[in-house]
Structure 1
Amino acid sequence: MFNKLSLIIVTILIVFVMLNSQMDAFSAKSNDIAVLENSFEKSGASYEYANINAWSKLNSKFTSISEMNMIVEKIIKSMGIDDKKVKVSKLDQDNFRQYDAEYDTGNKKVSIVMQSVKNEVANETYILIDEYLLKGNKDVIGENEKIIKAYSKLSLTPEIATCLVGAYKGLLNKDKISSILEEVMKDTNAVKVEGLNDENLVSISAHTNKIKEYIEMGSEKINLNVALRYSSFDDKTYIWIATPIIAIEY
C-alpha cells in the first residue's frame, strides 16, 4: 500500500510542478465544477464515479508521526468523517514518514495521506486527500467544498484536480469518439492546446474561459482534460472529463 500511495503522490506532484501553476494553487470553484457536470451530462455517458484529488505542501520540516496524527484528526473532523470508521496505517523510517487514514462508506472512499521526507537537499511534508464518489454518489461540488475547508483550517490552499468518469456500452468507432469530443469542446467553449490519438486512447488538453482557474504548460493555459479509452475487460468505452488535468490512471 505504501509504495503505491507514494507513487501516486510523487506522480501528482511532478505533473503539477511540470505544468507550472499560474496561481499559488489551482482550486476549482463550484461554478468550475458545474461546467464539468453540465458537459458530462450532455455527453450521454452513464456515470461511473468521480475523483477529487487535492494536495498541498504543509511545511519544510521532517514532521513527527504524532504531529501527523493531530493534523489528520483535524482534517477528519473538518470533513465530517466518522473517526470510528477510519483505518490508520503508519510508516516511520529514518528519512521517510507516512500517515495514512482510509475511510470507506461504500459510495464514498476517502484517503488522507501525509508524507514527510528528510534528505540532504531539504525536508518537506505534504498532505494529500484523494476521494472517490461511487455508486451514484454525484455530490462532487459538496465534497470539493469540504476538502477546501479542511485545508483552509490548516491555512493551506490545495492544488485540486476534479474528474468525472463515465462509460458507453461497447467499442465506439472513431467517428463517434470524434463527435463526443467535439460536443464537449463546443459545450465548454474550449480551445484545444494539445492532444493524443492512438489505437487505444484519445486525449485532449484544452483551455476554456468558462473555468476561471488554469495552469500553464509553457506559454499555454490548460484547465480542461478529456480522454476516451475502450476497455475489452468489460466491453465499455470510458470517458474522463477533468479540470485542470486527469490526475488518476486512465
Structure 2
Amino acid sequence: MYKKLFTYILIFIFSVSIVFGNSSENLKPEDIVNTSFLESQAHLDHININSYVVFNDKFITIDNANKICNDISGKLNMQEIEFEKENRDDFSQVIVNGTISEGIHGTVILQSSRLEDFKESSIVIDIIQTNKEYDLKELCDKIRDVLSNYGSVNLNINLIGYYDGLVDMKEIKGKIKNIFKKIDAEKIEGIESDELISITGYTSNIEKHIGYCGKKVNINIASRFNSYENRTYIWIGTPLIVLEY
C-alpha cells in the first residue's frame, strides 16, 4: 500500500507543474470540492487528503527522518502509532500509521534518496476519513499548518461518494455538467465509456491549477458502477484524482 501511495505521489510530482491563477475571487480548493460534492447529492463514502512537501538537493538521515515524523505525528495528535523504518546508505524511509480521531486515519511517510549527483526527499501526509459528518476546511488547514514548517505544501483533496444501485451514465454526465456549472468550471478533456466516465476541468475560482498536457486543470470528476457492492461511485478531486478508480 505504501509503495503504491508513494508511486502516485511521484507520478504526480514529476508529470505536472503547479502554478497560480489570477482570479480576484479565489476560493480554497476544499471549498470547491465540498460544493461539488454537495451538488452531486451522493452519499459520502470517505474523504482522502494526500499532501506533500518536496526537498530538492537534500538527503535526510534516518535519525532526522525519525525526528520529523515524530514531530508531525505529535502535531496531528496521532494515537495507536506504528512505525516502519528502512535505512541504507543511499535511502532512508520512515512510515508512521496511526489514528487521529474516531473515523480519521493518518499515514506519514518520509522518504529520502541520494545518488552520485542527485538528492531528493519528500514528506507525505495521507489522511482517510470515513465519518459522515466532516469539516473539510478544518482538516485541510491543520495539514497545511503542520507541513508548512517544512516547505511549500501541496494538497490533493478527494471526496468519494456513491449512489445506491446502478445509475445510468447519461444521468451521471448530467450530474457532472451541473457540478461544473455550479463551480463555474469548463471541461478540458474526458474519458467516457459504458462503464467509466472521467472528466477533467478548470475553474478560475481555485487559485492553483496544474499544467496537464499543456492545459490548465484543477478539478477532476470520475464515476463507475461497482456491481459487487451494487453502488455507483463518484470521485471528486482537486487538482486531480490521485486514487485508483
TM-score for both structures, normalised by structure 1: 0.89
Q: Secondary structure at the match of 1:214?
A: strand
Which of the numbers 156, 159, 178 marks the counterpart of 1:161? Answer: 156
Paired with 2:214 and 2:208, the residues of 1 have a C-alpha distance of: 15
Q: Name the amino acid aligned to 1:141.
A: K
Q: Which residue of 1 aligns with 2:40?
A: 43
Q: Name the amino acid aligned to 1:8.
A: L
The answer on 1:34 being equivalent to 2:31 is: yes
Equivalences for 1:46-195 in 2 at 5 Å?
46-79=43-76, 81-82=77-78, 84-104=79-99, 105-154=101-150, 156-195=151-190
Q: Name the amino acid aligned to 1:199.
A: D
Q: Secondary structure at the match of 2:137?
A: helix
What's the CA shift string for 1:19-48, capped at 9, x where partnerless?
22225xxxxx97331221122112110011
Check whether the contact 1:107–1:136 (CA below 8 A) recurs between aligned residues. Answer: no
Q: Secondary structure at the match of 1:57?
A: strand
Q: Which runs of 5+ in 1 are unaligned?
A: 24-28
Q: Name the amino acid aligned to 1:225.
A: N
Q: Secondary structure at the match of 1:196?
A: strand
Check whether the contact 2:144–2:153 (CA below 8 A) recurs between aligned residues. Answer: yes
TM-score for both structures, normalised by structure 2: 0.91
Q: Which residue of 1 aligns with 2:193?
A: 198
Paired with 1:96 and 1:226, the residues of 2 have a C-alpha distance of: 36
The structure whose residues are more often strand, as a share, is 2
Stretch of structure 1 that moved more, 234-243 or 111-120: 111-120
The answer on 1:227 being equivalent to 2:222 is: yes
- Over 3 Å counting, the alpha-carbon distance change for 1:11 and 1:35 in structure 2 is closer
Paired with 2:27 and 2:70, the residues of 1 have a C-alpha distance of: 26
CA RMSD of aligned residues (A): 1.8
Q: Which runs of 5+ in 2 are unaligned?
A: 21-25
